[in-house]
Amino acid sequence: MKDNSITIQTSGLVKKFGDFTAVNHISFTVKKGEIFGFLGPNGSGKTTTIRMMLGLLPPTQGSIEVLGIPVPDLITDILPRIGYMSQQFSLYNDLTVAQNLEFYGQAYGLVPENMGSVIREAVELSGLDGFEDTPTKDLSGGWRQRLALSAAILHRPEVLFLDEPTAGVDPISRRLFWDLLYELVAEGITVFITTHYMDEAEHCHRLAFIQHGEIIAQGTPTEIKREAMIGDVLEIDTNQTEDLIKAIYEARDNGDNRSLNAELYGSLIHIFSTQPKQHTKYLQTLAKGADIKINSISVIEPSLEDVFIACMRDSDIGGNHEE
């Protein structure tokens, strides 16, 4: 191993399915002991990237190293040292909780002498005490998700790959799931996680935004907010959000302030602006003209969601994809 602090490194990674480029020259580095978030909308290439790192798909071009070992050439050396939780919690519904755990334990070569204690630990970790003999199909989504995570870490992997582990899980279960992840990271496990939940991105140590198979921004959440975002966010509080957004876009269609983009943000409106002062004045005039009452306009620190949407819009305007 050249550098002990680097767990995953990819460079110039490309995956093509026929004419379609699913992943286009992706390079990133994941450091030991961090949670690296891979954030992007559905179909942006997250799962394809994760499958390439696990040796399930051969890359069309580029290189991958996991734990300093090249993938997919020497994937069999790596598989025992990593854990993976695929998109649908891959458990066997007809088997019980304990049988599922035992299977994955054996699959990862746990010796029979340790099996009992390892499974007891895993059951405790997922909070399924007393449900060992329950068929997995009788568990709710949140429990299944925690069981799948426990199964993926039975063998104490050095790296954990999670592909949208929280999709379709209720907020409380998601919260518990992240608490579990932090416990694992505290033990020294490196986590690579894909998600399309913006609030989860804030939990990651470092992230990459991916869209149409390309990374459009990466770094720590703070770095991304500082560097990737061009301009500021204006937060508008009004009781007539829809009317105001309509007015902004109507004015834009008539040639006014073409770069102005308005997004609904809860009951508020967020506007990405490179000239906040002029735009504040402009918006106030516009609102007055349309007879819309604005309670307040303020320049705020952008959230990751703001940054992500701004980045996606920029890359779309750049016209990097063919659609």
Partner 1 sequence: MSFRHLWAVIRKELLHILRDRGTFLLVLVTPTLVLLLMTYSLAVKIQHVPIALLDYDQSPTSREFMHQITAGDDLDLYENAASMEQIEDLLIKGKIKAAIIIGPEFSKDLLAMRGLSLQIIIDGTEPETGGFAVDHIGWRAESFANDILADQILTSGISLDSLEPIDLRIRSWYNPSLEPRIDIVPGLLSIVLGFPAFSVALTLAREHEHSTMEQLLATPISRIELLLGKMIPYILAGMVNVIVIPLIALAWFDVPFNGSFLEFLLLSAIFLFAELSMGMVIGVFMKSQSAALALSFLVVLFPGFFLTGIFFPIAALPEMARMESLFLPGTHYAIITRGVFLTGIGMDTLWPYAIMLVILGAAFTGTAALFFKKKLA
Select the span of 1-9, 96-104, 196-204, 281-289 touching partner 1 (CB under 8 A).
96-104
Taking the least distance from each CB to partner 1, the nearer of 58 and 318 is 58
The angle formed by the CA atoms of residues 189, 195 and 201, to the nearest 5 degrees, is 75
Query: 20 — phi, psi (to 5°)?
Result: -85, 125
Tokens of 122: 């895993």
Least distance between partner 1 and beta carbon 197 (Å)? 21
- Cα–Cα distance list, 287 to 92, 265, 297 (Å): 58, 18, 12
Taking the least distance from each CB to partner 1, the nearer of 80 and 171 is 80
Binders of partner 1: how many residues, by CB under 8 A? 30
CA proximity to 281, closest of 294, 266, 291, 270: 294
CA proximity to 32, closest of 164, 249, 245, 187: 187
Q: Does 285 bind partner 1 (CB under 8 A)?
A: no
DSSP strand E in the chain: where? 6-17, 20-31, 35-39, 61-66, 69-71, 82-85, 159-163, 190-195, 206-211, 214-219, 232-238, 261-265, 268-273, 294-300
Taking the least distance from each CB to partner 1, the nearer of 107 and 230 is 107
Q: Applying CB under 8 A, which of residues 51, 144, 212, 279 lies at the interface with partner 1?
A: 51
Q: Applying CB under 8 A, which of residues 40, 55, 142, 165 lies at the interface with partner 1?
A: 55
Taking the least distance from each CB to partner 1, the nearer of 107 and 300 is 107
Q: Does 91 bind partner 1 (CB under 8 A)?
A: yes
Q: Applying CB under 8 A, which of residues 5, 93, 140, 278 lies at the interface with partner 1?
A: 93
Query: 23 — phi, psi (to 5°)?
Result: -130, 130
Q: Does 115 bind partner 1 (CB under 8 A)?
A: no
C-alpha 182/C-alpha 203 separation (Å) is 9
Q: Does 23 bind partner 1 (CB under 8 A)?
A: no
Which one-letter DSSP state was computed for residue 284? H
Q: Applying CB under 8 A, which of residues 107, 230, 264, 300 lies at the interface with partner 1?
A: 107
C-alpha 103/C-alpha 101 separation (Å) is 5
| x-marked contacts with partner 1 along 146-175 as a string, rule CB under 8 A | ---------------x--------------
C-alpha 109/C-alpha 80 separation (Å) is 8
Q: Applying CB under 8 A, which of residues 90, 114, 220, 284 lies at the interface with partner 1?
A: 90
Residues that bind partner 1 (CB under 8 A): 51, 54-56, 58, 72, 76, 79-80, 82, 84-88, 90-95, 99, 103-104, 106-109, 135, 161
